[in-house]
Structure 1
């Protein structure tokens, strides 16, 4: 697949790196020589120094034979312009990064596809949505919803209170036959290896396990693992960035009591004028005395989305020490994900990963409806729509030659999520959620072509 990326910033570089690992033909365009230098020497991609709005630069990148054009510069105006030009010059599909979420809200009314933009993505909006889902499922480390929650991915670490510790998947299923969840990936404590569980796989204390749940499965999972899905009402947010603003606005509109800390005085006043239901405080959040004055110990959740990752992490640790049950930190360094559970932060958010996940589904073969990569695990969750011509159509799961390093977690049929076990028959129109290790993706894709 030939892919052109305009913008070698944090999102563009990260995308180029991930795509280059998959042997895609990548061209990266940026006017800044320094931004391109590292990519040129460390990645197997082509780089072009220049302004992506230049038609001659686009032609030099051979945009006329491009399968996917991704514009992720820091300027949404540039991204929209470049995608329009790329489409007119022959690009098959275009994706533009934007910061103004109104564009997404009104995209059908405006008709962006008519003038050449197939998809709009906003890392900030994706991050705000991820935070809201994490508060909704407060007992889990990571979450992802398929088909508006018909199926939900939930990740957690097994403690000694989990009732199926020491039992195999098959034994657990026999003891709890009416459950509405299934394990799809396991990372053993202290290792970097991802296991796709089978019937003889044993649950161990400290395992980081990812489950797929249908309706009601999250409550069952909490009960059986000794977790408590606490209701969250009082929320403190550190940082009045686009993510902080959108999170505060959305949560306050849904009835949460929100306090927002912003260090810049002018920005704090602007936020106070716009967010009439939010208490905005002019403070950078690093002052422990001020946090105590603002009753941080009475907060149900603390969300740190400032510009500095280390400050976000430290602020969450302070909040945790004051008794806050749910902490969420925005981080730029993906390496921090490996440390999140050991240092005591419940959930880490990374804009680059969210944007990459959203874009990656356009690269996968088959009718991929949604996709997410699992944090810390070398695996992907893919949602495929089954076509009448798919090899998997009208087959019983246990009779499908499915890779050992992949598993069907669930099926959404007519809007209803179901846990799909061995005797389940796949039908045309089903939306099938599959978890697979990276080495088995191509085999899985072929089943849905």
Structure 2
């Protein structure tokens, strides 16, 4: 497939990096320095120019392009790019936007703006915040097989009873599989003799109830849920996060300093308690019992402010903190100083677009630890290396860094064991080292 990406910012670069090995990729970028950097960093065609101009698009191979991804920093520019593309070709178009109002307009009118698929960054981040909020110490949570299967990545706390135990000893949940362990910069496939250490990030796959039970019993040192949610910042992400919690029956609290914005949010979200104040005011934090919150989400307009609010929340005793960060270089810093989860909107957007480009191969994809590993869902065909064979036999033909986490058959969950025989039509959820993904996909 020939993929044309317009915009070489963090989103565009991440997409190019992920697709360069499996597709022919071209990137258009207005900034001459960025365009030149792309040439030397990736195996792609780099074209310097304005992606809204048809001539520039043609210079980058528009006529042979199967997919055009508009991911500049401007919503309007991305929409114009898609509209321009449609004047010359029927290639599939993807537009990245931040404002949900544009997504609503597009969803309400088929083919609006010349966009075939629209990715709304703010909504994606809000959904991510909600997904991870229900699991203490969760770094990532995704659903597979129509909700039958849940994948979760947890960090092992210093007080966890898992520390020093083997996977074999901890594997006592009938409908859950230990898939992988991330330890510092190392990725380890979970084997029976693998020993858990403090600060390990472990990936488990299984039924929602088993994953929840495992998390509450062994991963964390608290039994609190996310009933009391405090969102700091009435930014679009903060607003969308509160709206997401409301939609699932929660009544979050939201702190916004600006009077007009606070009133606007209060009118739009009737089940959100909006407080007009400065969240860095320790007297306010004490007076409003912010220390009793199960989770504080920092969604202000700068990384520095979000770091400060998160640290203050931890200082007053909040169980869990989530911070939105725009600079990907800050991710490790935030988590090093004690912030539980740092979410980067551009990274979430890039992952969503990459997932979409591979829907012909897989049913669903979750990328872990900056795409060092993936959890994918596939429907088995008659020619798959897994079909009609015991798992213990078929796994001999696959790299060691592959784990079958769950199987869905006719709406029922099957926990895979060595003697399990997958059948054509089964939906299989696998944990795979990203380095061998192409090799594994070719035989599945």
Q: TM-score, normalised by structure 2?
A: 0.88
Offset at 1:40?
4.6
1:195 aligns with 2:188: yes
Distance in 2 separating the partners of 1:105 and 1:424: 45
Match of 2:327 in 1: 333
Q: 1:127 to 1:414 in 2, by over 3 A?
A: farther
Q: 334-343 vs 422-431, which deviates more?
A: 334-343
SS class of match (2:442): helix
Alignment counterpart, residue 425 of structure 1, candidates 421, 426, 442: 421
Match of 2:436 in 1: 440
Offset at 1:61?
1.1
Distance in 1 separating the partners of 2:124 and 2:335: 22
Offset at 1:132?
0.8
Offset at 1:306?
1.6
Alignment counterpart, residue 291 of structure 1, candidates 285, 295, 312: 285
CA root-mean-square deviation: 2.9
Offset at 1:367?
2.4
Match of 1:156 in 2: 154
Match of 1:383 in 2: 377
Distance in 2 separating the partners of 1:56 and 1:269: 47
Match of 2:317 in 1: 323
Match of 2:144 in 1: 146
Distance in 1 separating the partners of 2:144 and 2:389: 22
Match of 1:180 in 2: 175
Alignment counterpart, residue 123 of structure 1, candidates 121, 124, 131: 121
Match of 1:31 in 2: 30
> Structure 2 unaligned runs (5+)?
none
Q: Structure 1, residues 156-176: CA drift from partner, whole Å, max 9, x if none?
A: 233465445444333444xx2
Distance in 2 separating the partners of 1:96 and 1:152: 29
Q: Within 5 Å, which residues of 2 pair with 1:336-347?
A: 336-347=330-341
Q: 1:145 to 1:83 in 2, by over 3 A?
A: same
Q: Within 5 Å, which residues of 2 pair with 1:52-131?
A: 52-87=51-86, 89-90=88-89, 92-101=91-100, 110-112=109-111, 117-131=115-129
Offset at 1:31?
3.4
Q: Within 5 Å, which residues of 2 pair with 1:232-311?
A: 232-311=226-305
Distance in 2 separating the partners of 1:435 and 1:392: 14
Q: 1:264 to 1:129 in 2, by over 3 A?
A: same
- The question of whether the paired residues in 1 share the 8 Å contact of 2:137 and 2:156 is answered with no
Q: 1:44 to 1:443 in 2, by over 3 A?
A: closer
Offset at 1:291?
2.7
Offset at 1:321?
1.2
Offset at 1:340?
4.6
Number of residues paired by the alignment? 441
Q: Structure 1, residues 1-45: CA drift from partner, whole Å, max 9, x if none?
A: 43211123332233234444x375332223344554543554443
Q: 252-261 vs 308-317, which deviates more?
A: 252-261
Alignment counterpart, residue 215 of structure 1, candidates 204, 208, 219: 208
Q: 396-405 vs 77-86, which deviates more?
A: 77-86
- The question of whether the paired residues in 2 share the 8 Å contact of 1:68 and 1:91 is answered with no
Distance in 2 separating the partners of 1:415 and 1:98: 35
- The question of whether the paired residues in 2 share the 8 Å contact of 1:214 and 1:418 is answered with no
Distance in 1 separating the partners of 2:359 and 2:123: 26
Offset at 1:248?
1.4
Distance in 2 separating the partners of 1:146 and 1:105: 25
Distance in 1 separating the partners of 2:428 and 2:106: 27
Q: 1:39 to 1:151 in 2, by over 3 A?
A: same
Distance in 1 separating the partners of 2:399 and 2:51: 41
Distance in 1 separating the partners of 2:90 and 2:292: 53
Q: 1:52 to 1:226 in 2, by over 3 A?
A: closer
1:14 aligns with 2:14: yes
Q: 1:259 to 1:109 in 2, by over 3 A?
A: closer
Q: TM-score, normalised by structure 1?
A: 0.87
SS class of match (2:77): helix
